[in-house]
Amino acid sequence: MPTVVDCPTCGKKVEWTEANKYRPFCSDRCKQIDLGAWAEEKYSIPAVTPPQDADEDGTPR
């Protein structure tokens, strides 16, 4: 039985098989929507600023 995952764009159930050339997406449309969001920099990891009184490794001075 193949693994089934949720499409990251629309949430539709998708079989994770070599036959699905769009995996993990359900279609080319969902793949393109995700690519557009990535190109517009909608995905980001928030930066954490260390306290001023800490060394680079985070230990207090």
- Each residue of 16-57: pLDDT tens digit? 999 999 999 999 999 999 999 999 888 888 888 766 765 666
Position 35 scores a pLDDT of 95
- Is 38 annotated to bind a ligand? Reply is no
Q: Which residue has the higher pLDDT, 28 or 60?
A: 28
Q: Is the pTM of this model over 0.85?
A: no
Cβ(24)–Cβ(16) below 8 Å = yes
CA 30, 33, 39: angle at the middle one, nearest 5? 145
Position 48 scores a pLDDT of 82
Position 8 scores a pLDDT of 94
Domains of the chain: 3-39 (3.30.50.10)
- Is 26 annotated to bind a ligand? Reply is yes
In the chain, the amino acid numbered 50 is P
- Is 3 annotated to bind a ligand? Reply is no
* Residue 49 CB coordination number (10 Å): 5
- Is 40 annotated to bind a ligand? Reply is no
Position 1 scores a pLDDT of 83
